[in-house]
A and B are shown apart, each in its own frame.
Chain A
Amino acid sequence: MSSSPQPWNNPKLRAFAIQLAVLFVVGSFVWIVVDNTITNLQRQNIASGFGFLENPAGFGIALTLVEYTEQSSYGRALLIGFLNTLLVAVIGIFVATILGFTLGIARLSSNWLVAKIATVYIELVRNVPLLLQLFFWYFAVLRALPLPRESLSLLEIAFLNNRGIYVPALLLEGNGLVLGLSALVGAISAWLVARHAKHKRLQSGDSVKGAAFAPLLVIALPVLAFLVLGMGLKAEIPTLQGFGFKGGWSLIPEFVSLLLALSFYTAAFIAENVRSGILAVSKGQTEAARALGLKPTPILRLVIIPQALRVIIPPLTSQYLNLTKNSSLAVAIAYPDLVSVFSGTVLNQTGQAVEVIAITMTIYLSLSLFTSLVMNWYNRHMALVER
């Protein structure tokens, strides 16, 4: 045994050398696959590269959140598909969370009927494949609603038929930016009031009177600005013209049924996460809260839920990711999401499968990673603070 170790016996150096070698092997494997794909595409005279994104798309899309015409580029069509995916995912997550929390708490209710209804719902919805539920909602909605000429109407201004829901559009006469800014100012001041109230309560134990109404500022300020500036509001009522309704705001049945299916399905899973989270809070916490004289609702809101959230958030993140990814089933019921528009129509028209699928995968990956990032931040925020 020598006093100075040989270099290959130095653990730091050895670990570095091994990791370098593994990195090299993995790196060259990836390089070979990429290089070989490009070579093969060229050998077979298959077009490659991302230049196609600037070519005109030429096809129409049913739901566009930003301006899009047939002359727009494939890149623009990609944006439309992405926004449509984002729209249904964000609203779906919102609805699923509220419904899921309600159901999860209901399942633990001491009221026999409420608990059983929640149990039946969860077991039913959780165990039927999502695609079937999608078809169920879509065709149930389509079959149940009348044709445009026999629309159900509310006071002759809002209409419901199997082409969608039509409500009057409120068109603002004047500068909309002012309203947006005043809403922002309202939000900031509401936050400041809340912070001040909390600070004061922690300092002196007194609550600031009226602080609970601060969130109303978000609505009150724009309304005030609207009245002071004397802006007008014009309603555009949808009217039956030719084959369907024109004007007004509308929701297409594809969006409604996709949203229903996604949020109902995911809510069942979230409900179970919520139940597990609540059951993870030891019974002593409830008993202690009751001993302090708290009523059931404050016990749930102030004692149980904050502790349960620590257990709920990680699996909740998974459900949010699932909902976002499941939205790609939209193509089955003609909702123009990313998969339908981009890796459906665009892929077929350009034939550039490798590029299109790579872009689609990257977008879903980025969306999921972003959701994870936000939820992990929230999780750290909610985690038990050890003192």
Chain B
Amino acid sequence: MNNRLLPAVLALVVGLVAGFLLYPMFAGGGEETAPAVAASDDADPNAEPEPLPVVENRSTLDLVRARGYVRCGVSQGLPGFSNPNDSGDWSGIDVDVCRAVAAAVFGDADKSRYTPLSAKERFTALQSGEIDVLTRNTTWSLTRDTALGLDFVGVNYYDGQGFMVRKELGVKSVMELDGAVVCTNTGTTTELNVADFFRTNGLAYSIVAFEKSDEVVAAYDAGRCDAFTTDASGLYSERLKLADLNDHVVLPEIISKEPLGPAVRQGDDQWADIVRWSLFAMVEAEELGVTSKNAGEMRNTQNPAIRRLLGTEGAFGQNLGIPNDWAYKIITEVGNYGESFERGVGENTPLGIPRGLNALWKDGGLQYSPPIR
């Protein structure tokens, strides 16, 4: 055979074989690929192509267990919600939800790792299986719950969009902002809310939207815009970056509902349940007066609700597919919802956010856990 032909033929054969072997891997899951999978099984019954994370059928819980830690998507640094310190340790109320899930699954809250995500990247990261749960101050809305292949499992912070202006403007209400320039960041629901609000009220405005919140604050501080808008919690947290925070005032109106909560991939109900009930367990613990300090003693109490929560009665963890002391571990390792709130964003933190809507239902707030029984 001609020696010029040989390499070409070899390359072709290798290419064809590689294409044939790769085919089931890339097309895994599609109905039309079944014969291809069968064919490769015939060749070697033990060979199971390593599937891509998205298309496989193993449950998220199995994957997390096999990996040894939970992967959570968090913000790129929002004090009080998810923020890294000098040594790279993350803290905040969103991080606490992730730690609670790790405590429920592994009995160790430290078996959690964090991926900082921009507003744009967050959903794709979850869809593609790069993270197991998205705990990143993300608003639960119909589109996101239905069209993105996600499931929101609860609300760990009830928020709403607010406005901040310079005190010297003398503005007392959002209604006085006719013709104002408003700064915000892209990749969030805030642009739509501003448009809706100003249009509904017949006010003129012009919007300046940055990719990162640091630039929004800098531009607002430099006087590029009259008002700065984002979620009210974000205003409290971004205000800390301003030159003199007493020169600025947060207006009383809240123009939207922003229930922030964790989300998981659609289609894995067990994993959704674990995340949902990890959050509920924290709320339930606060309601029952169980804290990270007294949880040990509380195990001996006669109160049946507390005994069920802490796993001394019943087999509620088993039903979730995790150990029975799951909630006990969450409370001792992370704390109850109130502890997490006060530590992250509460009155004694630089943010100083009052409980407000996030108080327990019996204190006039919206935080309510279905019973654990």
Contact = CB atoms under 8 A, between A and B. Distances in A.
Chain A, interface residues (CB within 8 Å), range: 35 or more
A58 interface: yes
Contact of B27 (A39, A47, A162): A39
Contact of B179 (A21, A39, A241): A241
A46 B151 CA distance: 12
Chain B, interface residues (CB within 8 Å), range: 35 or more
Interface string B57-95: 000000000000000000000000000000000000000
B226 A60 contact: no
B179 A345 contact: no
B253 interface: no
A36 B26 contact: yes
A332 B212 contact: yes
Interface in A324-347: 331-334, 336, 340, 343-345, 347
A243 B195 CA distance: 18
Contact of A62 (B177, B198, B206): B206
B207 A162 contact: no
Contacts of A192: none
B27 A334 contact: no
Contacts of A366: none
Contacts of B194: 59-60
Candidate in A46, A162, A334, A351 with the most chain B CB atoms within 10 angstroms: A334
Candidate in A8, A243, A246 with the most chain B CB atoms within 10 angstroms: A243
Contacts of A344: 120, 186-187, 209, 211
A32 interface: yes
B210 A60 contact: no
A62 B196 CA distance: 16
A33 B26 contact: yes
A117 interface: no
B346 interface: no
Interface stretch (B15-23, B287-295, B324-332, B354-362): B15-23
Contacts of B187: 344-345, 347-348
Interface stretch (B214-222, B278-286, B300-308): B214-222
* Chain B, interface SS category: mixed
B266 A45 contact: yes
A22 interface: yes
A99 interface: no
A254 interface: yes
A9 interface: yes
Contact of A47 (B55, B119, B147, B208): B147
B120 A351 contact: no
Interface in B27-73: 27, 29-30, 54-55
A62 B224 contact: no
Interface in B263-289: 265-267
A243 B119 CA distance: 30
B180 A351 contact: no
Candidate in A44, A62, A254, A340 with the most chain B CB atoms within 10 angstroms: A44
A253 interface: yes
Candidate in A18, A41, A59 with the most chain B CB atoms within 10 angstroms: A59
A70 interface: yes
Contacts of B16: 21, 25
A334 B191 CA distance: 13
Contacts of B195: 58-60, 70
B5 interface: yes
B312 interface: no
B115 interface: no
B3 interface: no
Nearest to A48: B147
Interface in B183-209: 183, 186-189, 191-192, 194-196, 198-199, 205-209
Contact of B265 (A33, A44, A62, A163): A44
B54 A44 contact: yes
B148 interface: yes
Contacts of A244: 179, 181, 226
B8 interface: yes
A348 B186 contact: yes
A332 B181 contact: no
B154 interface: no
Interface string A37-59: 00111011111000000000011
B144 interface: yes
B210 A333 contact: yes
B319 to A, nearest CB: 26
B144 A334 contact: no
Given A340-B186, A351-B147, A21 B219 contact: no
B186 A58 contact: no
Given A9-B2, A28-B19, A162-B223, A345 B191 contact: yes
B12 interface: yes
B312 to A, nearest CB: 40
Nearest to A61: B207
B284 to A, nearest CB: 31
B215 A333 contact: yes
Interface string B233-273: 00000000000000000000000000000000111000000
Contacts of B149: 41, 44-46
Candidate in B16, B148, B180, B198 with the most chain A CB atoms within 10 angstroms: B148
A69 to B, nearest CB: 9
Contact of A46 (B147, B183, B219): B147
A242 B179 contact: yes
Given A62-B207, A334-B215, A351-B148, A36 B27 contact: yes
Contacts of B223: 142, 147, 162
Contacts of A340: 186, 209, 211
Contacts of A58: 192, 195-196
Contacts of A345: 186-187, 191, 209
A191 interface: no
B12 A22 contact: yes
Interface string A343-376: 1110111110100000000000000000000000
Listed from nearest, the 9 A-B pairs whose CB atoms lie closest are: A44-B149, A344-B186, A47-B147, A142-B222, A46-B149, A59-B191, A39-B30, A242-B179, A351-B148
Given A142-B222, A349-B143, 12 more contacts: A18-B12, A39-B29, A60-B194, A60-B198, A62-B207, A143-B222, A147-B223, A163-B224, A331-B210, A334-B210, A345-B187, A348-B189
29 contacts: A9-B2, A18-B8, A22-B15, A25-B15, A32-B23, A36-B26, A39-B29, A41-B149, A43-B29, A44-B266, A45-B266, A45-B267, A46-B127, A60-B195, A60-B207, A62-B209, A142-B223, A143-B222, A162-B223, A243-B180, A332-B211, A333-B210, A333-B215, A334-B219, A345-B187, A348-B119, A349-B189, A351-B144, A351-B148
